[in-house]
Amino acid sequence: MLDADFFRRWMVTAAAAVDREADHLTELDSAIGDADHGSNLQRGFSAVTAVLEKESPQTPGAVLTLAGRQLISTVGGASGPLYGTLLRRTGKALGDAAAVTEDQLAEALAVGVAAVAQLGGAQAGDKTMLDALLPAVSALGTSARAARDAADAGAAATVPMLARKGRASYLGERSVGHQDPGATSSALLIAALAETSGANAGNGDGA
């Protein structure tokens, strides 16, 4: 069972990953976006860790709902609403349970990803964060490690894609040949989940 502490550790691990990879995310974004994806997410997840420490929510759903709210209020551009929606809707789907199963997390995350797709009007193959999140959700029922690998592969697969949504879509054919920064940061979020699951299992093997 995964309790509130597990979800707090997931968010803290994600914040550390974003902090570590912020320059790389911004570099990717400079090619096909506004060159601020890394710095925006870095600021947002730093605020998430601060508010979680201050307010200490007691259920998994409350942790993710609070984190999502903080991202929406802190991160500019499209990233704040998209990541905020992902976490808030996942949190709401988890409800008020004090602890949840891995299967319940997978089901709730699917709800969150569907909300992102609806908000952004995007689908698989549009060269967005969904290209990492959709395969990750599909694989999460197997294990968190499988979800991480699927997200990494999904992010890498955006390189040859033509962007059809978001700022990158304005570039047309020039968007081809670049890895999508949103898919890359989404893969970091899923990798943080796998890392937290491995630590939770006590053997580093993932969930």
Band of the pLDDT at 11, cuts 50, 70, 90? very high
Q: Is the pTM of this model over 0.85?
A: yes
**pLDDT confidence tier of residue 190, bands split at 50, 70 and 90:** very high
CA dist list (Å): 69 to 80, 87, 161, 167, 182: 9, 8, 31, 23, 19
Q: What is the pLDDT of residues 102-126, one digit of tens each?
A: 999 999 999 999 999 999 999 999 9
Nearest-angstrom CA–CA distance, 38 and 55: 26
pLDDT of residue 184: 98
* Residue 36 backbone phi and psi in degrees, to 5: -135, 10
Measure the CA angle with vertex 154, ends 22 and 204; round to 5°: 70
Reduced to 3 states (helix: H, G, I; strand: E, B; else coil), residue 99 is strand
Q: Where are the alpha helices (DSSP H) in 56-141?
A: 60-74, 79-94, 102-120, 130-140
According to DSSP, the residues that pair with 84 across neighbouring strands are none
Under DSSP, the state recorded for 175 is G
Tokens of 65: 């709902």
What is the torsion angle, in degrees rounded to the nearest 10, for the CA atoms of residue 128, residue 47, residue 100 and residue 115? -30
Q: Is 3 helix (H, G, I), strand (E, B) or coil?
A: strand
Give 43-82 pLDDT, tens digit per residue.
999 999 999 999 999 999 999 999 999 999 999 788 999 9
Residue type present at position 35: A
Please answer whether residues 194 and 144 qualify as being in contact, where contact means their C-beta atoms are separated by less than 8 angstroms: yes
Q: Which two tokens stand for residue 80?
A: 């704040």
Q: How far apart are CA 68 and CA 48, in angstroms?
A: 8
